[in-house]
Structure 1
Amino acid sequence: MDTADSPGFDAESRELAVARWLIGAGGRAVVDALPRYRREEALALAARLRAEGLDADRTAAALTLSRLRTRATATFGERAGSMFFTAAGYEQATRLSVGALHAERFLAAGARRIVDFGCGVGANSLAFCLAGLDVTAIEVDPVAALYAAANAPRAAVVCVDGLATRLPEADGIWLDPSRRTGDGRRIASPEGWAPPLSRALSIAGGFPVAGIKAAPGIAHDALPAGALVEWVSEAGQLLEAVVWLGVGAGRAAVVDGEAFDSGASAADEPVSFVKPREIGPILLEPDPAVIRSGGIARLCERYGVAPVSGGVAYLSGEATPPHCSAFEVLDVLIPEVKRIKRALAARGIGRVEVKKRGTEVDVAAMAKKLSRRGGDPGVVVFSPVLGRGRAIVARRVDAPNGPPRRA
């Protein structure tokens, strides 16, 4: 097998040569000297770099890395400013805080030596190393492998086709199948991933503990019954699903690092539905990880809330469970713009946030249509209520993406 320091990284390709330059002292100096990336300044910067003697390929690589580092600041913090990304690698890279959750799962299961299969640019390898795990990272793309070695220098990065190679012995394996086409489009079917989910599960079966990163929209009936599947969200954004083998079975949500058990005893267990009832004083929107894990019934059972309509993930009750955004219900109206505007004016509401479920509404256009200058912020939720389309005029009880108000 070829490591980052071995001849396997010396392939005669312009792309690899440029990547080598980029991680070297010369490339680092060029990128570090660039101002924070702004799209409107990119052409002028490119012209300046070319005038300074940089060729077209290196100029494009430097500006691309600058752009990706700017985008990555939201997920990697200050560390993004020294990391290396390919465009595809950035799109699939796990944010560092979520990688730390993966590492915690391995550590809790007693795993210390991890194979990071399909490591991409090494985001998970970095998180695993920071947690004290011994990591062998495998990546078939030589440029991504080169960047992974730079991003996670404590990992042993191997540039090889993992599907055609005997994997090293380890306590656990992490697999991150590629879920995009060459032109960046997402691949919906798990069997269209590389490797396909079935192959990833087969590989995972050779290790005591395994985690397989999956698309958050994966259907429950595509999951292996004996797995524990976690849907992970941060600040209200659903990020991923992880199929864990060797750590139990069921489905759970992990919301801002806090676990919520959906109550399912098997990953492919059908979701339980709860009978809707009349809307109460508080409208609730569960975190998307709770929804995807099938945890609505558990929320309703524990906290005495219920859906406002069959098959709709808006709940209502008199208290706010954890992992839910809460809205004070002011009016429930027939969804006509004139009626809604009158209700908003009567309540002193100016700027309007529009939300919807189970109905066809152009959220952005409707928010523009309903908002007016002055007044307090408010929310208009378009949703069936006991089977009939309604507009719910409300105020947020919690700030968007803020901590939930406990029951």
Structure 2
Amino acid sequence: MRGAETNAETNAGAPGADSVRRLLSDDGRRLLAQLPPYDPDRVLSVTDRLRADGHAPDLVAAALTQSALRAKATAKFGAAAAGMFFTADGLEQATRPQIAAGHAQRFVDAEVDTVFDLGCGIGSDAEAFAAAGLRVHAVDLDPATAAIAAANAPSAVVEVADATTVSIPSDAAVWLDPARRTRGVADVTGRTRRTFRLDELLPSWEFVTALGASGRAVGTKLSPSFPLSALPPEASAQWVSYGGEVLECAVWFGPLADAHRVSARLVDASSASNDVVVHTDSVAPSADSIDDVDTYLYEADRAVVRAGVTAALTDAVGGVELSPGLGHVSTDQRIDVGFARRFRVLETMPFNQKALRSWLRLRRIGRVTVKKRGVTFDDATFRRDLKLKGSDHALLLVTRLAETQVVLVLDPDD
């Protein structure tokens, strides 16, 4: 049973246009509406029943795959997923609604009227643009994906075309979500291979930057691994996190660019008005020795670290960063900071496993949670070699400080 589900999901990573058209037809939509809540253990029995009712086998397979994708998409799109259409690759790359709303608001704030969404995927950004009152012309090279985008963003004009050949009016803004999967190159599960290289984007990075250099309002969604060294001088970059996970780096050109070259945006799941934007022109001071570790440790959100604006945290709490670029700041001040977690430091010591084991055993610590930043070792081997016995638990941070490795024993202080 499980195998049938897996094959149905992975083989539909890039469904054909004919299959998508059938699924989007009245018959396909009615069949989807009849399906019970997705249950992988019931795929075969549901398949047999639907075929016995006279439904074509290929339509049944497409509908069940879509049902599986909708169930998976609920984590990203909430209840709206039940009425949307997906591909496996499209769902993975699709922008969360809360983040897409932020993209749309930036165009609205720039008094843009029309947005050309080049490489629109399944249409999550296009729908957000339309919901914000913008006129949207969406483009995708793949006919099946474009058909799905048209279903998900019914107010948009959707065109099947090469984004690099589309004629864009001079007064229109542009949004690009370049494909970060290599067409025709699949992994062992049948999914197209993911790429993080700028020179493998489609449309190309050169095409994106040329549009940006034109002076028009241009924005693009890129991988969080985007190198700051590649940022054009006329653009700004913003790393975006949701629930503590960095999901994208958005690069903005022309009237959409920020005054600060780099920033971080922490998206609030409940309301865009609660988003936190972090930027700074300061440079974070660094600790010189283990004696600089104070009562509290603050851990900056990963988007703040990616953007390289940890100095905003050292400024906010009057502290020092343990090691440049890692996002851990120590201070004696207990302050609520909207872009960092706070811990109380119970102990600080050089990274010496024998000394750490003695400290933990003396306090009857039998279980540890290990966080590490800027160091490399095998967690399982590390825990095994501690040979702990006891009922209590400890949170350990293993990281760098100046030229040495250190261990901090922490207690969450949220």
TM-score, reference length from structure 1: 0.84
Alignment of 1:74-223 (within 5 A): 74-182=75-183, 183=186, 184-206=192-214, 208-223=216-231
> What SS is found at the alignment partner of 1:31?
helix
Query: Structure 1: how far apart are the matches of 2:167 and 2:50?
Result: 45
> Could you say if the C-alpha distance between residues 124 and 86 of structure 1 is closer, same or farther in structure 2, counting changes exceeding 3 Å?
same
Q: Residue 300 in 1 paired to residue 314 in 2?
A: yes
Q: Distance in 2 between matches of 1:84 and 1:54?
A: 20
CA separation in 2, counterparts of 1:51 and 1:348? Answer: 63
Of 112-121 and 45-54, deviating more is: 45-54
Deviations 1:193-212 (A, max 9, x none): 00111111213444631111
> 1:262 maps to which residue?
280
Q: Which amino acid aligns with 1:303?
A: V
Question: Counterpart of 2:408?
Answer: 392
State the Cα distance separating 1:28 from its structure 2 match.
2.2
Identity %: 35
CA deviations on 1:125-150 (whole Å, 9 max, x unpaired) are 11111111111111121111111111
Q: Tell me the amino acid that sits aligned with residue 329 of structure 2.
A: L
**1:219-242 CA-partner distances (Å, limit 9, x unpaired):** 111111111111111110101011
1:288 is the counterpart of 2:302: yes
d(CA) in 1 for partners of 2:34, 2:381? 42
Superposition deviation, residue 344 in structure 1: 4.6
- Note the residue ranges of structure 2 that are not aligned, 5 or more in a row: 1-14, 187-191, 268-274
User: Does structure 1 residue 63 correspond to structure 2 residue 74?
Assistant: no
Q: Shift of the alpha carbon at 1:31?
A: 2.5
Which segment is superposed worse, 97-106 or 174-183?
174-183
C-alpha distance in 2, partners of 1:363/1:255? 29
Indicate conservation of the 8 Å contact 1:280/1:318, yes or no.
yes
> Is the CA contact (8 Å cut-off) linking 1:180 and 1:187 kept in structure 2?
yes
CA distance in 1, matches of 2:168, 2:388: 61
Q: What SS does the aligned partner of 2:246 have?
A: strand
- Give the conservation status (yes or no) of the 8 Å contact 1:232–1:239: yes
Secondary structure at the counterpart of residue 276 of structure 1: coil
* Aligned partner of residue 185 in structure 1, secondary structure: strand
Q: Which residue is equivalent to 1:322?
A: 338
Distance 1:27 1:338, change over 3 A: farther
Aligned-partner SS, 2:313: helix
1:138 match: secondary structure: strand
Q: Is the 8 A contact 1:334 1:391 kept in 2?
A: yes
Secondary structure at 1:226 match in 2: coil
Q: Distance in 1 between matches of 2:383 and 2:76?
A: 29
Q: Secondary structure at the match of 1:132?
A: coil
Please list, as runs of the form range in 1=range in 2, the aligned pairs for 1:330-341 lying within 5 A after superposition: 330-335=346-351, 340=356
TM-score normalised by structure 2 residue count: 0.82
Shift of residue 367, structure 1, vs aligned partner: 6.6
Q: Which residue of 2 aligns with 1:275?
A: 286
The 3 A distance-change label for structure 1 pair 79 and 346 is farther
Rounded to whole Å, the distance in 1 between the matches of 2:47 and 2:381 is: 37
Which shows bigger deviation, 45-54 or 352-361?
Answer: 45-54
Shifted more, 163-172 versus 214-223: the winner is 163-172
1:318-397 mapped onto 2 (5 Å cutoff): 318-319=332-333, 320=335, 321-335=337-351, 340=356, 343-344=359-360, 352-363=368-379, 378-397=394-413
* Conserved 8 A contact 1:361-1:382: no
| Further displaced range: 255-264 or 362-371 | 362-371
CA-to-aligned-CA distance 1:318-343 (integer Å, 9 cap, x gap): 23443111211112245456654554
In the aligned structure 1, how far is the partner of 2:55 from the partner of 2:367?
49
- Asked whether the equivalents of residues 354 and 364 of structure 1 are also in contact (C-alpha less than 8 Å), the reply is no
* Matches of 2:136 and 2:412, distance apart in 1: 45
Q: Is the 8 A contact 1:118 1:138 kept in 2?
A: yes
What residue number does 2:264 align with?
253
1:66-101: per-residue Cα shift (whole Å, max 9, x none)? 222122112111101111111221121101000000
Q: Which amino acid aligns with 1:255?
A: L
Structure 1: unaligned runs, 5 residues or longer: 1-13, 265-271, 399-407
Does the 8 Å contact 1:210/1:244 carry over to 2?
yes
Q: C-alpha separation between the residues in 2 aligned to 1:37 and 1:345?
A: 48
Between the aligned partners of 1:367 and 1:69, the Cα distance in structure 2 is 39
Q: How does 1:204-243 map to 2 (within 5 A)?
A: 204-206=212-214, 208-243=216-251
Contact 2:149–2:158 under 8 Å retained in 1 = yes
Q: Trace 1:28-43 onto structure 2 (pairs within 5 A).
A: 28-43=29-44
Write the distance in 1 (CA, Å) between the matches of 2:398 and 2:230: 31
Equivalent-residue separation in structure 2 for 1:112 and 1:158 (angstroms)? 19
Q: Deviation digits for residues 171-190 of structure 1, max 9, x if unmatched?
A: 31111100112323222221
On the 8 A contact 2:364/2:392 being kept in 1, the answer is yes
Aligned partner of 1:258: which letter? V
Describe the shift of the 1:33–1:301 C-alpha distance in structure 2 as closer, same or farther (beyond 3 A): same
Amino acid at match of 2:411: R
- In structure 2, distance between residues paired with 1:157 and 1:107: 21
Match of 2:271 in 1: none
Q: CA separation in 1, counterparts of 2:83 and 2:341?
A: 36
> Partner letter of residue 308 of structure 1?
L
* 8 Å CA contact 1:116, 1:135 repeated in 2: yes
Secondary structure of the residue aligned to 1:181 is strand
Task: Give the Cα separation in 2 of the matches to 1:89 and 1:371.
Answer: 46
